[in-house]
Amino acid sequence: MAEHRRVSFASGEATCTGYLHLPGERHGPLPCVVLAHGVSGTMDRLFPQAEAFAAAGLAALVFDYRGFGESGGEPRLVLDLERQREDLRAAIAFARADEHIDPDAILLWGNSLGGAHVITVASGDPRVAAVVSQIPFNGFPRKVEGRSSWNTMKLMAAILWDALRGALRLRPYYIPMLGRPGELAVAATEESEQHIRLLAGEDGRTRWRNSIAPRGLLDMMRYHPAEDAARLTRPLLVCVAAQDRETPEETARQLADRAPQGELRRYDGSHFTFYTDPSIREEVLADQIAFYRRHLTASTT
């Protein structure tokens, strides 16, 4: 029977909390998938993926970034891209030091903004064995469907106000992560209520909160991991959703095109379909596990 245990590791000035999932049968050191979630996500939404990897014979480590979910760090719910990448590097170091894990068989998996982070971090870490980037961020689309110029200006004003408060070490200015069209939110869509239920869980008992300090969106405007993909020496699988409006296929596809060992898999659905549709989630995970196994085998021959 697979097992999972709560773990913690230091990152910067704080302690990150995670869960290490281990397969029931273990014969020697294991490959380990380190999973990185999206902008405001929490690790509990990635438990199904971690459990699937463990069922396939791989260890899997999920964790919360500093200031989110179960991890420490203040102020809370602040989007800080560099700190998130530092947390991912700390999670990799923790996994490599675990007695059950092969330190040269670390596999990275990232979703949305986490899909950008795993490419950037792996481009500087040649010991990573392979990378999966799911519905990855690769720069904002030029035009966000359903967002007027006035609403864009309101969001930009909120971003700048929060950035100023951060520079002055004042309490963050929080706005909703998800909202309906016309509302002040990082993502304002007709499907927001469905997405909120998904992230909060049907019983509302997850650690996710529909609130974020938006200052980090300034860094996201300059964040184009395709430049890091071009320097990536490890195999990369990019999984895209055909009807994705948050991380459109045309921008995500650039990551696979730029990577020397890039592959692309395209699936029907939207940004959240990989979570809401069990059949598509199982198909995607089966492809990702096959990709990891193929490249783990290649690395040992």
**Res 258: pLDDT:** 98
Which range of residues forms the domain containing residue 243? 3-142+222-299
Residue 215 lies in a domain: no
Residue 134 lies in a domain: yes
Residue 284 lies in a domain: yes
Please check the confidence at residue 142 and state whether its pLDDT lies above 90: no
**Res 145: pLDDT:** 58
Cα 63 from Cα 3, distance rounded (Å)? 16
Residue 19 lies in a domain: yes
Mean pLDDT over each residue of the chain, to the nearest integer: 92
- Domain harbouring 35, CATH code: 3.40.50.1820
pLDDT tens-place string over residues 16-51:
999 999 998 777 899 999 999 999 899 999 999 999
β-bridge pairing 3-11 and 14-22: antiparallel
Specify the higher pLDDT residue, 297 or 48.
48
**Res 110: pLDDT:** 98
**Res 1: pLDDT:** 64
Residue 295 lies in a domain: yes
Please check the confidence at residue 205 and state whether its pLDDT lies above 80: no
pLDDT tens-place string over residues 217-272:
999 999 999 999 999 999 999 999 999 888 999 999 999 999 999 999 999 998 88
Total domain count, the chain: 1
DSSP 131: E
Please check the confidence at residue 301 and state whether its pLDDT lies above 60: no
Cα 276 from Cα 198, distance rounded (Å)? 8
**How many CA atoms lie within 13 Å of 184's alpha carbon, on the beta-carbon side?**
14
Residue type at position 224: H
- pLDDT mean over 116-140: 97
Classify 253 as helix, strand or coil: helix
